[in-house]
Structure 1
Amino acid sequence: MIYFNEKIFLLGLEATYGTIPALAASDAILATDIRIMPMEGQDQSRNLERPHMGAQATIPVDLHAKMSFKVELTPSGVAGTAPVVGKLLRALGCAETVTATTSVVYNPVSRNHESVGVHLWIGDTRFALIGARGTGVLRINASGIPVLEVELTGLWTAPTEAARIEPDLDDQLEADVLVATTANTPVFTVNAVGLVMRSFALTLGNKVEPRFLIGAERVLITGREEMVETTVEAVPLSVLDPFGLALARSRVAVALTHGTQAGKTVSLAIPAAQVQRQQGIEEQQGIAEWPLRLVPQPGAGNDQWTLSFT
């Protein structure tokens, strides 16, 4: 018998694609809703013509693995020190820029995407992903813990029975986690207008492609289509007119800040997001709410959004 909740999750950046790094207790990730699909691929039939009817035998090909989970979007607590989610953002097609004692900033990039290796124990069975890259959603909901939802795709390796590594999770367990409230999330603006927000999600929209050819087997990020979806309290059109902005194909700035102290603040900046068509008006507790959709647009390139930990 194996207890499903007895999980140990280690993750590290690969120096060479497809070569898993030596993972140690310090590489542990504290996550929730972990799901593993350890043997994705195709079942290639031989399609033999035989003297009798019956199902065809198959050959498993293009094997790869997928893993999904959520990680708290929590800063390190020290300005200029990368957060736990930093390695994940780099595996999701982002670059990391560290300014000592000041900030760590992430932005999407179009080339030279980094990859990670993963070990996941369920009981004593160790699953592994190598050459893993992925996509994700940055989600902040009122009265909820901000999270990064991740789906990784990696090359397949056979599961094994392996000695468990006792993870070092002390810093993550003792982190100063802040739920999203008026006090803890002091900035949320669209087109420089402060709005009352119920929910917010930035979907990275990476197109993740397992590619299996003779001579090279890789997982690639081949495209990206970000989308912002947020639900806010409706305001007079004289304050913010999403209908007119959508009709004019206007691009507006979106800003969100969670946290107020040095080393414990994360800020999302989207300089130019095209306002999409308004799709209905909702009601909660007798109050009108707008579901807004916005598409971040690049300026010089790879600058459609930045996520800063300060």
Structure 2
Amino acid sequence: MPIYWSEKVLLVALESTYGTAPTLLAADAILASDIRLTPMEGQDLSRNLERPFMGAQSTIPVDVHAKLAFKTELLASGTAGTPPVIGKLMRACGCAEVVTANTSVAYNPVSRGHESAALHLWIGDTRYALTGIRGTATIRVNASGIPMVEFELTGLFVMPTEATPVVPDLDAQLDAEVLAATTANTPTFTINSVAMVMRSFALAMGNQVEPRFLVGSDSVMITGRTDTIETTVEAKSLSAFNPFALAKASTPLPVSLVHGTAAGKIITLSVPTAQMQRLSGLEEQQGIKEWPLKLAPLPNAGNDQWTLTFT
């Protein structure tokens, strides 16, 4: 009988030892969308044999790894001080998690000591497993849309098997109050402390994720990071906000985005020092002039170019 593409179960858990998967349980389930699996990345190494006849060369698969991309809703846990479901994914994408009991959970990028994760993805009864996972992500908030995080994960290859799927515990995620980005639900979006009318916003972590296969060590590493912000906003008079002058002067400026209003459900993205980039053009929507802005979040003391806080 056919295997239905929609029959998916995704479990993710952090590893305590790199490349060694813990026992993944129903509570490790992630409610995701647009799942895209590349199960066997790598190279086919030709033997390049000299033979007295023509024909294809036999090959050897090397540097075999796997990639998984998907989207998750950007949701707080509902309880201040309790990590959100995406917390373990943020940690596998090179972020530190700072928990303040009964108050907040904050994530910021770090340059060393990156954690790793393991996952199981069932499609039908076929289980795809990855270990030693690290990755990158993009946070997107679009007007009249559900705020999302797009993850791109890379992990070590594990041979797929047939196994009975775990029954996932998704109740809390399915029952969560999901708020679209609107004026009421997203009360703050400012650039340089100026309130902006925003159409779209994206912060890309820009992690450079490298599979590294040497004799004695197979791993996936985060070897660099170039964070970027792209946002489209309604144009203002230049006396109110002048992106051209800010870009010309390379002026560092703060960016703040707040989504949610109820305690335990508030998400704040703070970028203290972003550099305005050159405008590549102007846009028009519904007869209104809009600015497509690009900014580069810059570290100050280091590892502080942005913070995502759940309160």
TM over 0.5, shorter chain: yes
Aligned residues: 310
SS in 1 for 2:87: helix
Q: Does 1:302 align with 2:303?
A: yes
TM-score (normalised: structure 1):
1.00
The Cα shift of 1:113 comes to 0.3
Question: Which residue in the other structure is 2:96 paired with?
Answer: 95
Task: Please list the CA deviations of residues 214-270 of structure 1 after superposition, one character each: whole Å capped at 9, or x if unmatched.
Answer: 000000000000000000000000011000000001111000000011100000000
SS in 1 for 2:135: strand
Give distance in 2, aligned partners of 1:84 and 1:190.
29
Amino acid at match of 1:162: A
The Cα shift of 1:21 comes to 0.8
Matches within 5 A, 1:129-140: 129-140=130-141
Give distance in 2, aligned partners of 1:30 and 1:286.
38
Question: Which residue in the other structure is 1:285 paired with?
Answer: 286
Question: Which residue in the other structure is 1:207 paired with?
Answer: 208
Task: Please list the CA deviations of residues 104-136 of structure 1 after superposition, one character each: whole Å capped at 9, or x if unmatched.
Answer: 000000000000000000000000010000001
TM-score (normalised: structure 2):
0.99
Give distance in 1, aligned partners of 2:95 and 2:237.
37
Question: Which residue in the other structure is 1:34 paired with?
Answer: 35
Question: Which residue in the other structure is 1:118 paired with?
Answer: 119
Runs of 4+ in 1 over 2 A off after TM superposition: none
Amino acid at match of 1:142: A
Give distance in 2, aligned partners of 1:148 and 1:93.
15
Task: Please list the CA deviations of residues 30-79 of structure 1 after superposition, one character each: whole Å capped at 9, or x if unmatched.
Answer: 00000110000000000000000111110001000000000000000000
Question: Which residue in the other structure is 1:171 paired with?
Answer: 172
SS in 2 for 1:158: strand
Give distance in 2, aligned partners of 1:281 and 1:179.
26
Amino acid at match of 1:164: P
Amino acid at match of 2:157: W
Matches within 5 A, 1:1-310: 1-310=2-311
Amino acid at match of 2:179: L
Give distance in 2, aligned partners of 1:165 and 1:104.
29
SS in 2 for 1:90: helix
SS in 1 for 2:244: helix
Pairwise CA RMSD: 0.4
The Cα shift of 1:163 comes to 1.3
Structure 2: stretches of 5+ with no match in the other structure: none
